[in-house]
Structure 1
Amino acid sequence: MARDNLTASLAKLTGGQSFALTGGSVIHDDGPQSVSDIVVGADGRIAIVEPFLDSGSYSAHVDVTGMLVSPGFVDAHQHLDKTGVLRFTPNPSGTLQGAREAFAKYARTAGPDDIRKRATRTIGRCLSRGTTAIRSHINVDKDAGFHGIETLAAIRDAERHRITLQLVAFMTPHPGQDFEWLDKNIDGAVALADAVGGTPAVSEDPPRYLDILFSAAVKSGKPIDLHLDEHLNSGVHLLDAALDRVEHFGMQGRTVFSHVSVLSALPRRQFQRIAERLHKLNVGVVTLPAANLYLQGRDYEVLPPRGLTRVAELYRAGITIATASDNIQDPFVPTGSGDMLEIARWTLLAGHLRGDELAAAHGMITTAPARLMGLGRDYGLRPGARADFVVTDCIDTDTLVAGGPDRAFVFSNGRLVSQSATENIRLQENA
């Protein structure tokens, strides 16, 4: 089908009607792809995924032969309360602590309207680039109070038909923060959230802090997602302490460790021991290449480290590992567009995946984060799942990750929400 005809045909599909996309190459959960037709019901969910359907029985159908259909991209770790504050929060050191201090200062003055405008803009940009689900950590502490999580909870509920948004109550410890405040406020914060989070490495009493977080997760029946050991000091890590609590509190399969940069600094034998525990306890990992490439290793005079965790080795060990944006245009990461394909490429290159593992990088922005977020059968190109997918002009998964599409159509909840195309203009020379 000609480009203009395809664009026009997809644009005519409206919400609240059933339709069929025929002849496209569909990427399945376990990686392979096959030519299949997709029927989307009027409820915005996938009704059928099968080859060679009788498209004549559907009032609306579009031939997408030669196009690739991917599940919507999933960004399992963002900070929507921080997004877009770069020009207000200088971080001259370029370090993690410098970023923390810069945002803590800004958070004291950031009101709900400011947070709402910035977060809404970033969500829109992410959706336009194919991201249909986001998990965002939201600071809750003496500086930020509840402004961020209350504002994002309202956005989550208002936008639920447009994008899946999960919130992590990021109970942020600061030096001098008393545990009485944390004990008093954590239940209220978690009630507004979908998961419990925190950053034990900067707590004044990590064991006590971890116990508070895990207890709140068990009490609320919600999963836990920790910023864990985002540093390269091999002599100090909390991996075993956190894994002990996963086992003690029965949080197997409901725990995610984000960053875990220190794994790349540990001797291989020690890493392998930790990896075996991660696998046994079914703990997922999220790597954040943009942040850890930018923030880590600035004090090394020779061969500054990449700062990422052992991405390739964790993946090959069978541990569920996703990759995500982390921060977007703030003191932690000054860049970012919400493009998960860009993040997948950074992960492949900086994480030492191989050229024959492009499909693995795709899995790290689709099925792996969906699993870590507990989206279950609500996600993917399967009957009953929410109809969140991206139709592109790429020929296969490898091509999609390696270079990205020239044409893309993003569907969320069965509605076309974004379309984009790269146009080449040929200039006519004067005779």
Structure 2
Amino acid sequence: MSWLRSAMTAAGDIVDVEIADGVIGQVLPAAGTAGTPTDDAAAAGGLGPDDVDLSGQVLLPSFVEPHAHLDKALTASLGRNLTGDLAGAVAAMDLLREVTTPADIITRAEAALRIHLAYGTTHIRSHVNVLNEVGLSGLEAMIEVRERWRGVIDLQLVALVNDAAGPLLREALKIGADVAGGCPHMEDDPDRAVAACLDAAGEAGRPMDLHTDETLNPAALSLRTMADLVLRTGFPHGVTASHCVSLSMQPVETQREIAQRVAEAGIAVVALPQTNLFLQGRDHPVATPRGLTAVRPLLRAGATVAAGGDNLRDPFHLVGRGDALEVAALMITCGHLDPIEALDTVTAAPRAAMGLPAVALTPGAPADLVAMPATDVLDALGIAGAERTVWRDGRVVARTVVRSELAAPAGTSSVSAAAAWSMASSTPFQPKA
């Protein structure tokens, strides 16, 4: 048993959090605030041997990445996207695949996992190419990675097929893929591809997560087909639609109608601002669309809207830090969410989409947490510094310490960056009621 002392919550409360047996035991007002914890160590004003002082830090549920491509990660310098768009990225990966081995996939995927973990991500859903011209070798490599990292970062693997009606999707689900996937909008008959994926997922008793309408072409609208099929069949295993770019190009009434159907069907939508901002809109030189799904209409309808980083430094997105706070900041900037809503898209919403237990600073919740220096949650989003501590099931699985030394103006002494931040006091952000 241990305590996390004097941490600030997203709501601005200063609390002491007890961790016992991998879950949160108690959450009490920190000593010296509105109430006092009753345990002896706090009453004595000290820390127990396993306690952690989080004074000046914000404590949040750990982050969840609902849409990654770990089998492609960190290949941007190896395969050039000559056109900058989706077709160029696919062409670059086709060439790179000819010289990529399963060992290469494992090495880069594990490097990407370390990046995500250091920034506070403890669960990832990764799509893995299972293509007719390649077979199952990439998936087999990623299954090895999943098992090796289980309990530190938990992976859900999506079999991403290019022929939903072919045998590979069912074979992939048999050998260990967790989720059925595909790209219906890139097949000759998108509606048939959606139905074929749903059939394969239903037979295997697995969830489905499809790359859906990843285009600004308003005529592409497989999301409506997906919602209708799920409602008609009563598919019980969980459905996620990723990207849903063309929904943003629909008239307001169409957006509202489809969003309501999506919410009624229980389909979670994953917005992917980084990759879609990079790939989409290159043929719109004037008033370039943002390439982001219709976030606000979906939320108004009551749909689950998560957000992910998608591609990490590969031909589909050349940069990116692997940091959920970068994604959340983009959901504020281009999705027009408020900070608490944006944090929800990288914490609670992806957990719901992936069927994971909810995490909150409440007794009984899993102790999957991340803490970082900040005066409040808005400060944490704005700084998005690398200094973080990450807990998984109550044990520390990552700790990054940063020290900066700054030159001082004439007549003053040098101060550390941490001291500078503490001197720059601000009014705590107040979330919307």
Establish whether TM, by shorter chain, passes 0.5: yes
Q: Which amino acid aligns with 1:321?
A: V
Letter in structure 2 aligned against 1:134 = I
Match of 2:173 in 1: 190
Displacement after TM superposition at 1:405 (Å): 4.3
CA distance in structure 1 between the aligned counterparts of 2:313 and 2:57, rounded to whole angstroms: 32
1:252 touches 1:281 (CA, 8 Å); kept in 2?
no
**Which position in structure 1 is the counterpart of 2:401?**
420
Within-5 A mapping of 1:259-274:
259-274=243-258
Code of the residue aligned with 1:45 in structure 2: it is: V
Query: Contact between 2:58 and 2:371, CA under 8 Å: does it hold in 1?
Result: yes
SS of equivalent residue, structure 1 residue 264: helix
Q: Does the 8 Å contact 1:22/1:55 carry over to 2?
A: no
Alignment match, 2:285: 301
The Cα shift of 1:237 comes to 1.9
| Alignment correspondent of 1:395 | 375
Is 1:381 aligned to 2:365, yes or no?
no
Query: Structure 1 residues 63, 88: CA separation in 2 closer, same or farther (over 3 Å shift)?
Result: closer
Q: 1:153 maps to which residue?
A: 143
Indicate the residue corresponding to 1:45 in structure 2. 23
Which shows bigger deviation, 221-230 or 231-240? 231-240
Deviation per residue, 1:210-234 (Å, 9 max, x gap):
2221112112221111110011111
**Structure 1 gaps, min length 5:** 1-17
Q: Normalising by structure 2, report the TM-score.
A: 0.86
Q: Partner residue of 2:339?
A: 358
**Residue identity opposite 1:415 in structure 2:** R
Question: What is the aligned length?
Answer: 398
Over residues 258-281 of structure 1, what are the superposed CA-to-partner deviations in whole Å (9 max), with x where a residue is unaligned? 100001111111111101101111
CA–CA separation in structure 1 for the residues paired with 2:162 and 2:350 = 23
**Equivalent residue for 1:64, pick from 54, 59, 63:** 54
- 2:147 aligns to what SS in structure 1? helix
Determine the structure 2 residue equivalent to 1:258: 242
Give the corresponding residue for 2:384: 404
**Which moved further from structure 2: 93-102 or 243-252?**
243-252
**Range with greater deviation from structure 2 (203-212 or 191-200):** 203-212
Q: Which residue of 2 aligns with 1:14?
A: none
Counterpart Cα distance in 1 of 2:241 and 2:188: 20
Report the secondary structure of 2:60's partner residue. Answer: strand
Identity of aligned residues (%): 35
Q: Which of 125, 132, 140 is matched with 1:142 structurally?
A: 132
Q: C-alpha displacement at 1:108, in angstroms? A: 3.5
Q: Deviations over 1:327-356 (max 9, x none)?
A: 011110011110111111112111233xxx
For each residue in 1:293-319, what CA deviation from the matched residue of structure 2 results, as whole angstroms up to 9, or x when unmatched? 111111113111111111233223322
Paired AA for residue 394 in structure 2: G
Structure 1 residue ranges, 4+ long, deviating more than 6 angstroms after superposition: 427-430
CA distance in 2, matches of 1:370, 1:125: 20
**Cα separation, partners in 2 of 1:212 and 1:92, compared to 1, 3 Å:** same
Q: How does 1:109-124 map to 2 (within 5 A)?
A: 109-124=99-114
Q: Tell me, which stretches of 5 or more residues in structure 2 are unaligned?
A: 30-35, 42-47, 412-433
Task: Determine whether 1:212 maps to 2:196.
Answer: yes
The answer to whether the Cα contact below 8 Å between 1:218 and 1:249 also exists between their aligned partners in 2 is no
The letter of the residue matching 1:107 is: R
Q: C-alpha root-mean-square deviation of aligned residues, in Å?
A: 2.3
Q: Which residue of structure 1 lines up, in the alignment, with residue 6 of structure 2?
A: 23
Give me the whole-angstrom Cα distance separating, in 1, the residues matched to 2:343 and 2:378.
Answer: 8
- Give 1:13's aligned residue: none
Measure the CA separation in 1 of the matches of 2:26 and 2:171.
Answer: 41
